[in-house]
């Protein structure tokens, strides 16, 4: 029998307080049949991204526990960071890995969302394949304008009532987006510049919504601790736009401003089909502590 495995990449609105991050990780690592494959912490974004894989039932327990613990440890009303966010745990996707379908993941998203809404009283918005309202199925639409704008929409617009939970954000946890989606690659390119206008213009030029590359979301952000800027991207389908293609596009646009690429970084892991060893050099990737390919990490992980 094929083992059923799903992946989730919860985004946590904390990238500076190591004690909070450690507590959340310790609790996750105690859950049987779940493995933490990667942790990415960014102090400028004030955000941590956990890559976890496990059996569906165990993953629901792990993810619910993560949201409940973050509700107690993180106060979103006091949060400051460069990355858009709506909650203490901002987003929780379900991604089919092995022995499960996208339809299964939609069901898991609904089950977890319903539990979060009812037991933790956090408004839940379903997105991507799990989205019930087409006009807000994209994550960037849910997060547009941050928590304050989301709260306004919840109060004023019928189509913005949450899928689960109360129609008002939680005082510490805010709101949360729970969804089901295809494998996404999060990829950042750091420019040798502090020109935020240039970074934002490059991001606008290359992203799909502005007529750029297919399956690319992008934004320009400041890295205040380094006095540099970054083009932060999500490749929502690496089969349509590859890492090399998006790197070359950013490099081409950066040269218009006389700017060089300093380095790039992966946030989380990549599937083997999207990777080759030449990318380490070609993309000026920051040195990584371990292999970035999810299949190889899975081989090393102990799920049971």
Question: How many whole angstroms separate alpha carbon 247 and alpha carbon 245?
Answer: 5
- Residues classed as catalytic: 83
**Residues facing 266 on adjacent strands:** 187
- Burial of 93 (C-beta count, 10 Å sphere; 0-12/13-18/19+): buried
Question: How many whole angstroms separate alpha carbon 199 and alpha carbon 252?
Answer: 13
In sequence order, which ranges of the chain are alpha helices (DSSP H)?
Answer: 18-29, 56-73, 102-115, 139-143, 146-156, 196-206, 243-256, 279-282, 294-300
Question: How many whole angstroms separate alpha carbon 87 and alpha carbon 74?
Answer: 9
């Amino acid at each position: 029998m094929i083992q059923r495995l799903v992946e989730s990449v919860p985004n946590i609105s904390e990238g500076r307080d190591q004690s909070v991050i450690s507590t959340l990780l310790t609790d996750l690592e105690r859950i049987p049949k779940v493995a933490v494959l990667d942790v990415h912490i960014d102090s400028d974004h004030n955000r941590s991204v956990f890559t976890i894989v496990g059996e569906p039932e165990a993953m629901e327990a792990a993810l619910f526990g993560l949201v409940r613990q973050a509700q107690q440890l993180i106060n979103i009303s006091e949060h400051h960071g460069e990355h858009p966010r709506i909650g203490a745990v901002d987003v929780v996707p379900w991604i089919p890995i092995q022995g499960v379908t996208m339809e299964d993941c939609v069901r898991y998203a609904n089950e977890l969302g319903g539990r979060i809404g009812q037991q933790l009283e956090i408004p839940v918005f379903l997105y991507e394949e799990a989205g019930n309202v087409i006009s807000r199925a994209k994550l960037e639409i849910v997060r547009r304008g941050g928590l304050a704008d989301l709260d306004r929409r919840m109060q004023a617009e019928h189509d913005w009532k949450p899928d689960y939970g109360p129609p008002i954000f939680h005082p510490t946890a805010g709101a949360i987006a729970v969804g089901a989606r295809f494998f996404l690659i999060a990829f950042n390119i750091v420019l040798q510049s502090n020109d935020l206008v240039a970074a934002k213009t490059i991001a606008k030029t290359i992203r799909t919504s502005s007529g750029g590359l297919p399956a690319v979301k992008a934004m320009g952000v400041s890295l205040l601790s380094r006095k540099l800027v970054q083009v932060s991207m999500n490749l929502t389908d690496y089969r349509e736009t590859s890492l090399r293609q998006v790197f070359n596009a950013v490099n081409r646009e950066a040269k218009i401003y006389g700017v060089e690429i300093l380095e790039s970084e992966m946030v989380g892991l990549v599937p083997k089909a999207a990777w080759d060893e030449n990318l380490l050099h070609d993309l000026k990737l920051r040195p990584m502590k371990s292999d970035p390919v999810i299949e190889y990490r899975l081989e090393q992980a102990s799920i049971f």
